[in-house]
Amino acid sequence: MPLSEHEQKMLDEMERQLFADDPRLARTFQASTRPRRSRRRLVLGLVGAVLGLGALVLAVLLPAIWLGVLGFLLMLAGTLYAVTAPPAEPGSAPGAAPATGQGPDRHRGDFMRRMEERWEKRGGDDPRG
């Protein structure tokens, strides 16, 4: 059931207000910030995984534990390489946090500071010491 024009306007206004209040949330929902996987990366990762599987099978045929471990690590590395996105260069992504103390560490520090202030307001003492 489609929304009425009034409901659509209200929803748009709520969305704008939410994004204005929390820009980090807005960046999370932007489709353009989602990392893309390249076909080349996928193929190279799968080749690495298949080579690792071959080394693992060969290690079972020849009793060579070191080759099995190496094959397993190659499979793991190839799979991880295939399914992860390449790292973005600093400042290139539209949703990247600026390097001026605006990142998650700053928010974490603010959160901890607020929690400590609340604790002090309550008059809480550390029972251990």
Q: pTM here?
A: 0.44
Taking the CA atoms of 64, 69, 74 and 75 in sequence, report the sign of the dihedral they define: positive
Give the count of beta carbons closer than 10 Å to the beta carbon of residue 80.
12
pLDDT tens digits, residue range 68-81? 999 999 999 999 99
pLDDT higher than 70, residue 127: no
Q: Is 34 left (phi over 0), alpha (psi -120 to 50) or beta?
A: beta
The residue ranking higher by pLDDT, 39 or 30, is 39
Could you state, in order of their start, the residue ranges of all structural domains in the chain? 37-84
- Of 5-19, 30-44, 54-68, where does mean pLDDT reach its minimum? 30-44
Beta strands in 1-129 (DSSP E): none
